[in-house]
Amino acid sequence: MVVLGACATWSLVTAAVHDGRPEGVLLAVLAVTAGYAAGRVSGVLVPVAAPCAAALAGITLAVVLPQTGAGPETAAPLGHAGATAAVLVLSAGAACCAARATDVSGLRAALHGLAAVAAVTGAVLGSATAAALCGLVLLCSLGAGQVTHRGRVLAGLGLGAAGVAALTWAVAADALPGGLTGSLAGRLTPRRIDLWQDALRLARGDALLGVGPGRFGELSATAAGSPLPDGRPHSAPLQMAAEQGVVGVLLLAAAFGWMLFALWRSPRPTPVVVAAGAALTGLAAVAAVGNALSFTTVSVGAGLLAGLATARPLATAPTPPGPTSTTRPGRGA
């Protein structure tokens, strides 16, 4: 709560200094908090059914809502392909958490099959990123039974997310060799890289406070020249750097680090923790190169999955002292 409170407070501070609009950040913090609380409660009461229902809801959401497939611009109600990929990755993670929470082998296989359905759904919707990340989450869950030190796995996942964020920053700064930058530009699209470069330029203008939340769209030449602008640089770390400065970036990293720390301390079985950690790391990778965190659906899903994987079982009522039977022995005993 301290980390999320600091994120909300800092957005208000930077908005006050630069006349920004912190409503988006405040809504995201509220969504994560609500999802996390719901996950903690439902994870205690129905540890298998709750993540299974969340997985089914996520896959259904990605399929039935219109215009959620791949596309260059944001579209209502769910939006960019990055949001669809994020929802499917979280769905795969929830399905794997449910699979690892049950001792029934047949049900476990069926729930792992549900995670495979999420990967297939991503491929059908045209999102290779969603299919690949869902597949990786499924592989991590299948191999999680052999994990004995969850801390090492979670540390590796954290380094992987940091590596994707660093790569995004290097592309924006044009610090990669020419051949590698060119190949990534073909995959990421030149417009996205131009948005990243605008975000980095704005961040350098005011490294401490940024330009204020919600102001990237009006200060970015690339965003202003787009026929359907969404006002975002399509990278969570670069958006935080541009709008809330280096402190905003550190708070974003602290929020992700707190999730990994909470998973490390979780009383749930290690396979459940590893599956959730893999899905949340996949979400972090998607958010580093897209605007997935701009959608309330994704923020709620991330908090829900973290809550499900860190739920503490209810304490067993203590047994009163003395004999457990109130039957008196007979006189001839």
> SS3 for 128-194, per residue?
HHHHHHHHHHHHHHHHHHHCCCHHHHHHHHHHHHHHHHHHHHHHHCCCCCHHHHHHHHHHHCHHHHH
The pTM of the full predicted model, rounded to 2 decimals, is 0.89
Is residue 291 scored above 90 in pLDDT? no
Q: What is the mean pLDDT of residues 224-242?
A: 84
The dihedral over CA atoms of 248, 249, 255, 261, expressed in degrees to the nearest 10, equals: -140
**pLDDT score for 331:** 40
**pLDDT score for 230:** 73
Residues 6+ apart with CB under 8 A from 293: 28, 86, 236, 287, 299
User: The dihedral of CA 244, 245, 247, 248: what is its sign?
Assistant: positive
Write out pLDDT tens, residues 17-36.
999 999 999 999 999 999 99
CB 85, CB 121: distance < 8 Å: no
Is residue 279 scored above 80 in pLDDT? yes
Of 210, 175, 206, the C-alpha closest to 193 is: 175
**pLDDT score for 221:** 87
What whole-number percentage of the chain has pLDDT above 70?
88
Write out pLDDT tens, residues 108-163.
999 999 999 999 999 998 888 999 999 999 999 999 989 889 999 999 999 999 99
**pLDDT score for 81:** 65
**pLDDT score for 227:** 63
Is residue 277 scored above 60 in pLDDT? yes
Is residue 169 scored above 60 in pLDDT? yes
Of 278, 305, 259, the C-alpha closest to 98 is: 305
Is residue 324 scored above 70 in pLDDT? no
Is residue 318 scored above 80 in pLDDT? no
